[in-house]
Amino acid sequence: MHEIHLSHQDKALRYQELLPQIRFLIEDETDLTANLANVSAALKEAFGFFWVGFYMVREHECELVLGPFQGPVACTRIAYGRGVCGTAWKEGRSIIVDDVEQFPGHIACSSLSRSEIVVPLRSEDGSVIGVLDIDSTETGTFDEVDRRYLEMLCNIICESAK
């Protein structure tokens, strides 16, 4: 499957179609791992992303551990504050990277990854419990439309986990 190129408007429309479908898919399932697996698959099917998945916080180990994902094999552990994922966790914010070669400390699980977006996944009390990580084989793939809807999606995931 190849990455799907959409206009801003078409990308927003696809998210608007997808998010209610994902909400319906996961709202009656309380197991977070199962929901993350289905969300990864749904995002892959909808957008053809090169890599899409989750890294989960292991607080006592002060690192992220690989969770459900779709795409090539990936590094299994990322230290707090390292890479794009560890930085998103540390700073508690979404990060859009137009060109991974310009991000100091970027962790290249695949040499084919050229741009990335990482969105924190939060628990009910607002603490970061993991991150959604999406990689593209092209630079400049992700923008504010992705950030807005992927943050909405992460809120839907956390609502289902209550």
Residues of this chain that bind ligand SME (CB under 6 A): 51, 74-75, 78, 83-86, 106-107, 109, 113, 116, 133, 135
Residues whose CB falls within 8 Å of the CB of residue 19, separated by 6 or more in sequence, listed in order: 149, 152, 153, 156
Q: How far apart are CA 122 and CA 158, in angstroms?
A: 7
The CB-of-45 to ligand SME minimum distance in angstroms stands at 18
Q: How far apart are CA 52 and CA 120, in angstroms?
A: 14
Neighbours of 64 (CB within 10 A): 27
Q: Which residue is nearest to ligand SME (CB)?
A: 83
Residue 25 or residue 80: which is nearer to ligand SME going by CB?
A: 80
Q: How far apart are CA 56 and CA 128, in angstroms?
A: 9
Residue 43 or residue 78: which is nearer to ligand SME going by CB?
A: 78
The CB-of-28 to ligand SME minimum distance in angstroms stands at 29
Q: How far apart are CA 131 and CA 118, in angstroms?
A: 6
Coil, strand, or helix at residue 67? strand
The CB-of-42 to ligand SME minimum distance in angstroms stands at 18
Residue 63 or residue 135: which is nearer to ligand SME going by CB?
A: 135
The CB-of-137 to ligand SME minimum distance in angstroms stands at 12
Residue 22 or residue 85: which is nearer to ligand SME going by CB?
A: 85
Neighbours of 162 (CB within 10 A): 7
The CB-of-71 to ligand SME minimum distance in angstroms stands at 7
Residue 61 or residue 159: which is nearer to ligand SME going by CB?
A: 61
